[in-house]
A and B are shown apart, each in its own frame.
Chain A
Amino acid sequence: MSGDSAASAPGRSGARQGRPVGRSAGARFRRLFEGGLLQGGVQGSPVLRLFLRWVRRPLLPVMRLWRRNIQLRVVATTLLMSLGVVLLLGFVVIGQVRNGLLDAKVKASQSQATGGFAVAKQKADEAASGTATGTNAATTSGDGTSTADGRQAQNVIPWMSDLVDSLSSGGAGAFDVVTLPVGDDSGGGRSPRGSGYVNPTSSVPADLRERVNSGTTAAQSYTRIVYSNGKESQPALVIGKQVSDPNGRPYELYYLFPLTQEEKSLSLVKGTLATAGLFVVVLLGAIAWLVVRQVVTPVRMAAGIAERLSAGRLQERMKVTGEDDIARLGEAFNKMAQNLQVKIQQLEDLSRMQRRFVSDVSHELRTPLTTVRMAADVIHEAREDFDPVTARSAELLADQLDRFESLLADLLEISRFDAGAAALEAEPIDLREVVRRVVSGAEPLAERKGTHIRVLGDQQPVVAEADARRVERVLRNLVVNAVEHGEGRDVVVKLASAGGAVAVAVRDYGVGLKPGEATRVFSRFWRADPARARTTGGTGLGLSIALEDARLHGGWLQAWGEPGGGSQFRLTLPRTADEPLRGSPIPLEPKDSRRNRGLDEAGLPGGGGEKRATVPVQQGGAQAPALPPRAPIAPRLAGVTPAADPTALPGNGNGARVVPRPGGGVRRPDDGPAAGSAASADAAPPQDSTQPGEAFRGR
Chain B
Amino acid sequence: MAADRKGGARHRPGRAVAYAAVGVVLLAGCASMPDSGDLRNVESTPRQDTGVRVFAMPPAEGAGPAEIMQGFLEALTSDDPSYDTARKYLSDDAARTWRPERSTTVLANGPSIETDCRAGAGQEPTDSVTCVLAGTRVATVDAQQAYQPADGSYRKKVHLTRSAKTGQWRIDGLPDGVVMGKSDFQRNYTSVDKYYFASDTTAGATGQPVAVADPVFVRSKVDAMTQMVRSLLNGPTSWLGPVVRSGFPTGTALQKDVSGLAPDDQNKLTVPLNLKASQVAPGKCTEMATQVLFTLRNLTPTLESVELEGADGRRLCDLSEERAESAAWHGSAKSPDYLYFLDDKHRLVRMPTGSTGTGALPVPGVFGESDKGLESVAVSRDEHSAAGVGDAGKSLYVTSLASGGSLGNALVTSAGPTQSDRLTTPSWDARGDLWVADRDPHHARLYVVEQGTAKAQEVAIPELSGQIKDARVAADGVRIALVVENKDGKQSLLIGRIQRDGGTGQGTSVVELRSAAPDLEQVSAMSWAGDSRLLAVGREQGGVLQMRYVQVDGSTLDGPAPGALTGVKSIAASEDERVPLVAYSEDDGIVRLPSGAQWQKVDKDGTAPVYPG
B-binding residues in A (CB < 8 A)? 140-141, 143, 145-146, 149, 152-158, 161-162, 164-165, 168-169, 172-173, 176-177, 181, 184-201, 228
Q: Which of B24-32, B63-71, B330-338, B418-426 contacts A (4 or more CB under 8 A)?
A: B63-71
Report Cα–Cα, A628/B184, bound state, in Å: 125
Q: How far is the CB of B601 from chain A (nearest CB, A)?
A: 33
Does B310 touch A at the CB level, under 8 Å? no
- A145-B109, A157-B73, A158-B184 known; A195 and B50 CB under 8 Å? yes
Does B571 touch A at the CB level, under 8 Å? no
Q: Which residues of B contact A190 (CB under 8 A)?
A: 57, 70-71, 74
Does B284 touch A at the CB level, under 8 Å? no
Does B53 touch A at the CB level, under 8 Å? yes
Please encode chain B, from 154 to 184, with 1 for each CB lying within 8 Å of some chain A CB and 0 for all others: 0000000000000000000000000011111
- A165-B187, A191-B71 known; A158 and B110 CB under 8 Å? yes
Q: Which residues of B contact A198 (CB under 8 A)?
A: 53
Report Cα–Cα, A671/B181, bound state, in Å: 117
**Does B182 lie within 8 Å of A197, measured CB to CB?**
no
**Does B183 lie within 8 Å of A158, measured CB to CB?**
yes
- Contact pick for A194, options B55, B66, B180, CB 8 Å: B55
Does B380 touch A at the CB level, under 8 Å? no
**Does B113 lie within 8 Å of A154, measured CB to CB?**
yes
Report Cα–Cα, A184/B53, bound state, in Å: 19
Please encode chain B, from 52 to 81, with 1 for each CB lying within 8 Å of some chain A CB and 0 for all others: 111111011101001100110111011000
B residues 170-206 in Cβ contact with A at 8 Å: 180-184, 187
Report Cα–Cα, A165/B51, bound state, in Å: 7
Please encode chain B, from 472 to 487, with 1 for each CB lying within 8 Å of some chain A CB and 0 for all others: 0000000000000000
Residue ID in chain B nearest A149 by CB atoms: B112
Q: How far is the CB of A120 from chain B (nearest CB, A)?
A: 14
Does B541 touch A at the CB level, under 8 Å? no
Report Cα–Cα, A237/B61, bound state, in Å: 33
Residue ID in chain B nearest A155 by CB atoms: B110
Q: Nearest 8 pairs between A and B by C-beta?
A: A188-B70, A154-B112, A186-B60, A158-B181, A187-B67, A192-B55, A187-B70, A164-B52
Residue ID in chain A nearest B60 by CB atoms: A186
Pick 7 A–B contacts, CB within 8 A, sort by A.
A157-B74, A158-B184, A185-B60, A186-B59, A188-B73, A188-B74, A200-B55
Residue ID in chain B nearest A165 by CB atoms: B52
Q: Which residues of B contact A149 (CB under 8 A)?
A: 109-110, 112
Report Cα–Cα, A191/B61, bound state, in Å: 15
Q: How far is the CB of B300 from chain A (nearest CB, A)?
A: 15
- Contact pick for A155, options B56, B66, B75, B112, CB 8 Å: B112
**Does B112 lie within 8 Å of A196, measured CB to CB?**
no
Tally chain B residues at the interface, Cβ within 8 Å: 38
Does B111 touch A at the CB level, under 8 Å? yes
Residue ID in chain B nearest A146 by CB atoms: B109
B residues 108-140 in Cβ contact with A at 8 Å: 108-113, 115, 136
Does B465 touch A at the CB level, under 8 Å? no
- A191-B71, A201-B55 known; A186 and B109 CB under 8 Å? no
Report Cα–Cα, A172/B109, bound state, in Å: 26
**Does A186 lie within 8 Å of B67, measured CB to CB?**
yes
- A186-B59, A187-B70 known; A193 and B108 CB under 8 Å? no
Residue ID in chain B nearest A199 by CB atoms: B55
Q: Which residues of A contact B111 (CB under 8 A)?
A: 154
Report Cα–Cα, A188/B60, bound state, in Å: 12
Q: Which residues of B contact A194 (CB under 8 A)?
A: 52-53, 55
Does B49 touch A at the CB level, under 8 Å? yes
- A141-B183, A161-B183 known; A191 and B57 CB under 8 Å? yes
**Does B53 lie within 8 Å of A228, measured CB to CB?**
yes
Report Cα–Cα, A191/B56, bound state, in Å: 5
Q: A145-B108, A161-B52, A191-B56 are in contact. List 17 more A-B contacts (CB 8 A).
A: A141-B109, A143-B108, A149-B110, A157-B74, A157-B77, A157-B110, A158-B110, A158-B182, A162-B183, A187-B66, A187-B67, A188-B73, A190-B74, A191-B55, A192-B54, A195-B51, A196-B51
Q: How far is the CB of A325 from chain B (nearest CB, A)?
A: 25
Tell which of A154, A190, A194 has the most Cβ of chain B within 10 Å: A154
**Does A155 lie within 8 Å of B109, measured CB to CB?**
yes
Q: How far is the CB of B508 from chain A (nearest CB, A)?
A: 41
Q: Which residues of A contact B110 (CB under 8 A)?
A: 149, 154-155, 157-158
Report Cα–Cα, A199/B184, bound state, in Å: 19
Residue ID in chain A nearest B71 by CB atoms: A186
- Contact pick for A196, options B50, B61, B78, CB 8 Å: B50
Tell which of B48, B54, B56, B180 has the most Cβ of chain A within 10 Å: B54
Q: Which residues of B contact A176 (CB under 8 A)?
A: 50
Q: Which residues of B contact A189 (CB under 8 A)?
A: 70, 74
Q: Which residues of A contact B113 (CB under 8 A)?
A: 152, 154
Does B12 touch A at the CB level, under 8 Å? no
- Contact pick for A145, options B48, B52, B136, CB 8 Å: B136
Q: Which residues of B contact A195 (CB under 8 A)?
A: 50-53
Does B5 touch A at the CB level, under 8 Å? no
Q: Which residues of B contact A141 (CB under 8 A)?
A: 108-109, 181-183
Q: Which residues of B contact A172 (CB under 8 A)?
A: 47-48, 50
**Does B78 lie within 8 Å of A191, measured CB to CB?**
yes
Residue ID in chain B nearest A231 by CB atoms: B48
Q: How far is the CB of B72 from chain A (nearest CB, A)?
A: 10
**Does A161 lie within 8 Å of B109, measured CB to CB?**
no
- Contact pick for B63, options A155, A162, A186, A193, CB 8 Å: A186
- Contact pick for B49, options A158, A193, A197, CB 8 Å: A197
**Does B53 lie within 8 Å of A193, measured CB to CB?**
yes
